[in-house]
Amino acid sequence: MRRNSQNRSRGAWFNVNWDLTGAGHRGICRSLANRENKMKDFLNITKALADENRLRIVMALRDGELCVCRITELMGLAVSTVSKQLSILYQAGLLNARKEGRWMYYSLAGKSAPSAAREGVAWVRRSLVKSERITEDTRQLKKVLAMDLGDLGKRQCRTRAGGSER
């Protein structure tokens, strides 16, 4: 008797009539795609936040927009390295970007960003606000902001061309 009851329950499972041609199918697919997109967004955000330099960039942008040359000066890294880090943060939806003339500016994503991105940035800000490294970066950023943008760009160009500025 037990065997029959197992067969019936298996039979009931496999005899379900799935109508995948109607509106229900589109709803199921949309729901699965939405879950997959949320998972992908979550993974991109967590990967983007899994690097000290990218966290430092997020914290540097907490008070407003910065151009790439100022971020590069603050970080003390090659322009290409900073550009790659900014690209990862941007692709994860954590940053906004705009170009003005020859300068590229970045800021933290605002209200139009996915909620997971906004929550991730808020979490980083809360968690790192008292970090010694972030405190030092904040002091250094004040010095960087006092530098002339044109001079800063020229300085970085000379450094890239093989000169030593630091």
Residue 94 belongs to a domain with what CATH number? 1.10.10.10
CB 128 within 8 Å of CB 134: yes
State the pLDDT at residue 15: 45
d(CA 67, CA 147): 12
DSSP 61: G
Confirm whether 19 is domain-assigned.
no
For the stretch 118-143, what's the b/e string if a residue is b when 16 or more beta carbons lie within 10 angstroms of its beta carbon?
A: bebbeebeeebeeeeebeebbeebee
- CA 54 to each of CA 14, 20, 72, 87: distance values in angstroms, whole numbers, following the listed order: 50, 44, 12, 10
CA distances from 130 to 18, 59, 126, 133 (A): 55, 11, 9, 9
Is 20 among the domain residues?
Answer: no
Number of domains in the chain: 1
- Residue 130 domain-assigned (yes or no): yes
Residue type, 153: G
User: What does pTM read for this prediction?
Assistant: 0.74
Can you give the residue range of the structural domain that contains 82?
A: 26-160
Place of tokens 């589109």: 26
Residue 60's nearest CA partner among 117, 145, 119 is: 145
In a domain, 1, yes or no: no
pLDDT value at position 152? 77
User: CB-based contacts of 113: which residues, under 8 Å, 6+ apart?
Assistant: 93, 94, 96
Question: Do you know the residue count of the chain?
Answer: 166
Q: Is residue 147 part of a domain?
A: yes
Cα 122 to its chain centre, rounded Å, is 12
In angstroms, the CA 7 to CA 90 distance is 54
Q: Is position 13 within any domain? A: no
Residue 115 lies in a domain: yes
In a domain, 165, yes or no: no
List, for the chain, all residue ranges whose pLDDT scores fall below the cut of 70: 1-36, 153-166
